[in-house]
């Protein structure tokens, strides 16, 4: 399946690049142009603020890495996982799968590789809260990763997409991802 003359693989890698660039541009603008550190909190709605939080760990500040060795270890682990996701994207022929993987790859590179390299921590900005309920602070890369996981779950559990031979496949009951290739042999 091609969209705008591009294969799903190319679309997935383009999504990863755009996700990475948008995440980093947003962070650069908030930190260096808007100077969020000196202007926080900025109340956007009664339940969403823009603040500046420095997260030395991973989600919810788990595995805090305050030392250079810790940051390198987290970055290396993220790069290994990202490499596996890139291989998965490369092999996938399904558009929604490649878009989901592209979102996750771009978000992971933005949060882990770039942020840890440039800042030594992950820069988070968006603080969601309702009344006494307070959710974690997140950034655009986190949104992209979450959206990517939702794409993969949808594709795996519910998704229906025509295969290369024109037949419709549905979720996991359709067999392995390379079922179409096996049919052509």
> Are the beta carbons of 40 and 30 closer than 8 angstroms?
no
Going from the C-alpha of 69 to that of each of 55, 66, 124, the distances in angstroms are 16, 8, 22
Residue spans of the chain under pLDDT 50: 173-176, 179-185
Amino acid 61: pLDDT: 55
Amino acid 185: pLDDT: 41
Positive or negative: CA dihedral 11, 118, 69, 145: negative
Amino acid 36: pLDDT: 98
CA 89, CA 81: separation in Å to the nearest integer?
Answer: 12
Q: Which of 23, 49, 66, 142 is catalytic?
A: 142
Amino acid 167: pLDDT: 58
Amino acid 176: pLDDT: 46
CA 109, CA 144: separation in Å to the nearest integer?
Answer: 11
List all residues 6 or more positions away from 69 whose beta carbon is below 8 Å from its beta carbon: none
Q: Which of 23, 32, 49, 124 is catalytic?
A: 124
User: Is residue 66 annotated as part of the catalytic site, yes or no?
Assistant: no
> Are the beta carbons of 78 and 154 closer than 8 angstroms?
no
Q: Where are the domains of the chain?
A: 8-157
Amino acid 1: pLDDT: 65
User: Is residue 142 annotated as part of the catalytic site, yes or no?
Assistant: yes
CA 35, CA 68: separation in Å to the nearest integer?
Answer: 26
Which pTM was predicted? Answer: 0.82
């Amino acid at each position: 399946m091609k969209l705008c003359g591009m294969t799903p693989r190319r679309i997935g890698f383009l999504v990863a690049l755009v996700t990475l660039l948008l995440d980093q541009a947003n962070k650069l603008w908030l930190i260096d142009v808007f100077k969020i550190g000196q202007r926080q909190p900025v109340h956007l709605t009664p339940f969403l603020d823009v603040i500046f939080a420095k997260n030395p760990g991973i989600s919810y500040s788990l595995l805090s890495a305050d030392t250079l060795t810790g940051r390198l270890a987290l970055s290396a682990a993220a790069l290994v996982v990202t490499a596996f996701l890139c291989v998965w994207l490369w092999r996938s022929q399904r558009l929604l799968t490649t878009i989901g993987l592209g979102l996750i790859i771009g978000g992971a590179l933005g949060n882990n590789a770039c942020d840890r390299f440039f800042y030594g921590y992950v820069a988070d900005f968006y603080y969601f809260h309702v009344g006494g309920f307070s959710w974690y602070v997140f950034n655009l890369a986190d949104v992209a990763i979450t959206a990517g996981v939702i794409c993969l779950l949808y594709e795996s559990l519910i998704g229906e997409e025509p295969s290369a031979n024109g037949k419709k496949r549905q979720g996991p009951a359709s067999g392995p991802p390379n079922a179409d290739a096996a049919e052509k042999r």
